Structure 1
């Protein structure tokens, strides 16, 4: 299926709340996404990234002191991670007016999990910041520049269409430039994913062109929030939160630690975590919900651990990969989703085993995921 112009920008309900806030208020805009939103590939993430350029545009248009922007981009994170960190990284200080969401490149081929994440973000906003306008963004990558609507973008569009949310496909715009001979993807991105300054500038142009069409006003015909609809998937992450690891009910053989003087990537926040390298060290926490997970700082010395739900058998987990040899980074593990909401007790137990590439049997649990 070829991408047509109407597939690149879907206005749908538009941004009615943001329009009203532009009149005589101070709108708060948040950018939730992965490394491209954080600014990877740009020569200066806080100056030349698409996010920074969009923030510059908003402040020039509305006034330096009138627009507040929140950078909630975190490299390597998908919509599952985004749904769980939405409250801490975006909504912690209160309601926001406009939320850009960018996870199409990082979401994998699991359709249901992608919907759980994107729908969870939307439904959390409905509950906790009901007037927030949302816009989905689809960035370019080697995997989505074939001319067909890529799987990941198509899945996100299912959610956008269902909830009447505007969307902008950067990927479709870039593909059109390539197809018509105006540029080469290699000229915009050295690794096939992260745009350079020129690529970031193009992304910012697409967003600002969209925002240019949003005029301040109080159009009663558009004065409506995201429709309150039945969920697309009952097990979505509408109640997802991220808690500090010290909030576990009990632990033995772990100590509270910080990651100091170590290579760290994809995380610019506090690194407090529960640390062990001892076999049989264990911890336990309980979730009243439908799903749970943990966020681990994986790195050169990460070993193999086990988990058990309620009284079930322990399942081994080896999260070590090639990235672990280079630096520590947050990696999430979601446990099997339950058929209904209930109390779930999770037990984590370290082992004396490790991947052949690892230098140790370390286990660093940084966050608990609850839904």
Structure 2
């Protein structure tokens, strides 16, 4: 998992060599690769422990690996990047920052990592940990360098290394020995934040060590750490051979090291995503299609959280890797600001060839309430989407997802299930659809102190860290759904469509070209409209045909057949009021200006009527003289009409 700007994450991916070398490490999968022109590796456990815990080695990745192998066997990932000759410098810490973001994201590892520092590796683990205490589960260090004036400087009882000292000074930018000796950010310095975060540390030391004397390194750090309230353990290793002037010694209790790391990494008990998954009918049909037919069409329908990069890419990558012989087509049909009502009517426009969609992910739980959709509208729209899809392809698998926002967290913490989730679940359970309740999962994980909203998840448009939380849960759902064996005689089974919950559900929704309208004076179609002001636009709402009037009193007529009718408009800073009536009904007023119109020509779907007899009707619209107090005009810009036939 991760928390950094997504643009940086994209940069990291471009710095990774595509020629990953795969081999074995003590029977486990080992992947070697280049990260920002540095050698890196990751060891993959056969089965990851809950939460995807990991160990990060600093220097000497093949020295004393007994504890490492115990932990990998028990579900830990093991990572390493070669930053030799950087001696834990600020530049080395930057490399580590970048590598943390990349590797934790790529492998969806948990936020807090267990650090291992051997000898000079102590410079790396402590200098990085002091800047990132919230990312550190614990620190294990073996004969660690904690003060570079001791080694390689050699200004104490240790012998030092002149060659390494000169390299270190150049790396840090020191112009003299005195400048280096006056440096105040060695591992022994500035430990308060790490101690305040209660990061446990353990040092294995050799009492005869003349290369990195404990009195100048570990014992100073440990004592200072305890005085600051930190948790610290020292284990003197006195048995076996003491080689390289006492700097190399046998680790007497590798199991103790492994248990220390396990206890401090896993002790909080991560929640299991499975608790937030409802399997419903499952994904058996898409499993058979991907496994046996070697073809797959997967669609993602939703708003900006689906439109933005992140979880959707992770799910696509998972499916590609899970079914390596399958040819996939992924259809990204997420559009910012859109909820279930727009989705029900734009379905056939944005997802071509519905009858050949095998798997569809749908989300609208954030946008539906924020867009002011009523409970009735929410259910009608979602049921319309489900029925439309299943009429086109009775074998389609549909997964409903509930994403999180602050109001849902507030509701769950009061013991209330959010209204929109109740509404969507009413439809999902009636049609026995799988559900992934990420809103509840994120709330519970925050309450479990696994991460915070403010520092980690950050927004209803999740940070990269939050995208990782979503992706991890979805991939676990998919992994469980596709874990069963497919037999040779297994066949795709069409699912019978029950009677509709609501006869007015939008199951035959579609968009209508604006050219269908009959115009009077004051209305015109601009075939390539774009805003002339400085406000924003959305895709498919600029450089496109738009039916426009800015003249109060101007009218249009649209004749249609169906049970519902509406208009999709671009509601910008000059959006006005319209008046409309259907057939011989009374004129009704509608304000097109939205809470977001001042800064955006927002695509907005206004349903004008949804309970009509399924016959021919006449819609009349005229621009009103009334104007919202915040609007600077009377404009009505229609991108589409929409109907439910």
Q: Check whether TM > 0.5.
A: yes
CA distance in structure 1 between the partners assigned to 2:537 and 2:462 by the alignment? 18
Change (3 A) 1:4 1:151: farther
1:124 aligns with 2:388: yes
Residues matched between the structures, number:
360
1:198 is matched with: 465
CA distance in structure 2 between the partners assigned to 1:114 and 1:26 by the alignment? 33
SS at match of 1:322: coil
1:52 is matched with: 313
CA distance in structure 1 between the partners assigned to 2:488 and 2:282 by the alignment? 11
2:327 is matched with: 66
Change (3 A) 1:58 1:179: same
1:298 aligns with 2:562: no
Bigger Cα displacement from structure 2, 262-271 vs 193-202: 262-271
- Which string of whole-angstrom CA distances, capped at 9 and with x for unpartnered residues, describes residues 87-135 of structure 1? 1111357521101000111222622211101100010012122221100
Question: Any conservation in 1 of the 2:572–2:600 contact (CA below 8 Å)?
Answer: yes
Question: Any conservation in 1 of the 2:570–2:638 contact (CA below 8 Å)?
Answer: yes
SS at match of 1:36: helix
Change (3 A) 1:180 1:220: farther
Question: Any conservation in 1 of the 2:569–2:638 contact (CA below 8 Å)?
Answer: yes
When Rg is computed on C-alpha atoms for both structures, the one with the higher figure is 2
444, 456, 465: which one aligns with 1:176: 444
Change (3 A) 1:208 1:235: same
1:166 is matched with: 434
Question: Any conservation in 1 of the 2:303–2:336 contact (CA below 8 Å)?
Answer: yes
Change (3 A) 1:218 1:121: farther
1:277 aligns with 2:277: no
Question: Any conservation in 2 of the 1:33–1:78 contact (CA below 8 Å)?
Answer: yes
Question: Any conservation in 2 of the 1:305–1:318 contact (CA below 8 Å)?
Answer: yes
1:88 is matched with: 349
TM-superposed deviation, 1:5:
7.1
Change (3 A) 1:54 1:251: farther
Question: Any conservation in 1 of the 2:573–2:633 contact (CA below 8 Å)?
Answer: yes
CA distance in structure 1 between the partners assigned to 2:333 and 2:503 by the alignment? 26
2:510 is matched with: 241
CA distance in structure 2 between the partners assigned to 1:220 and 1:229 by the alignment? 27
1:335 is matched with: 608
1:321 is matched with: 594
Bigger Cα displacement from structure 2, 193-202 vs 221-230: 221-230
SS at match of 1:199: helix
Structure 2: gaps (5+ residues): 1-270
Bigger Cα displacement from structure 2, 118-127 vs 314-323: 314-323
TM-superposed deviation, 1:187:
2.7
- Which string of whole-angstrom CA distances, capped at 9 and with x for unpartnered residues, describes residues 243-267 of structure 1? 2222224454222223325533443
Question: Any conservation in 2 of the 1:33–1:72 contact (CA below 8 Å)?
Answer: yes
SS at match of 1:246: helix
RMSD, matched Cα: 2.4
CA distance in structure 1 between the partners assigned to 2:488 and 2:517 by the alignment? 48
Question: Any conservation in 2 of the 1:250–1:283 contact (CA below 8 Å)?
Answer: yes
1:18 aligns with 2:18: no
TM-superposed deviation, 1:339:
5.0
396, 404, 420: which one aligns with 1:140: 404
TM-superposed deviation, 1:336:
2.5
TM-superposed deviation, 1:64:
8.7
Question: Any conservation in 2 of the 1:164–1:226 contact (CA below 8 Å)?
Answer: no
Change (3 A) 1:290 1:320: same
204, 208, 211: which one aligns with 2:478: 211
User: Which one has more relative contact order, counting CA pairs under 8 Å at least 6 apart?
Assistant: 1
CA distance in structure 1 between the partners assigned to 2:604 and 2:456 by the alignment? 28
Structure 1: gaps (5+ residues): 40-44
TM-superposed deviation, 1:4:
10
329, 349, 366: which one aligns with 1:105: 366
Question: Any conservation in 1 of the 2:290–2:326 contact (CA below 8 Å)?
Answer: no
CA distance in structure 1 between the partners assigned to 2:555 and 2:487 by the alignment? 56
CA distance in structure 1 between the partners assigned to 2:356 and 2:401 by the alignment? 21
Change (3 A) 1:278 1:9: same
Change (3 A) 1:222 1:135: farther
SS at match of 1:58: helix
CA distance in structure 2 between the partners assigned to 1:61 and 1:4 by the alignment? 21
TM-superposed deviation, 1:83:
0.5
* 1:249-268 matches, cutoff 5 A: 249-257=518-526, 258-260=528-530, 263-268=535-540
Change (3 A) 1:304 1:163: same
TM-superposed deviation, 1:218:
5.4
SS at match of 2:362: strand
- Which string of whole-angstrom CA distances, capped at 9 and with x for unpartnered residues, describes residues 323-357 of structure 1? 11112111111113235322221111112332222
Question: Any conservation in 2 of the 1:104–1:153 contact (CA below 8 Å)?
Answer: yes
CA distance in structure 2 between the partners assigned to 1:219 and 1:34 by the alignment? 39
- Give the TM-score taking structure 1 as reference length: 0.90
Question: Any conservation in 2 of the 1:302–1:362 contact (CA below 8 Å)?
Answer: yes
336, 348, 363: which one aligns with 1:75: 336
1:224 aligns with 2:493: yes
Bigger Cα displacement from structure 2, 314-323 vs 297-306: 314-323
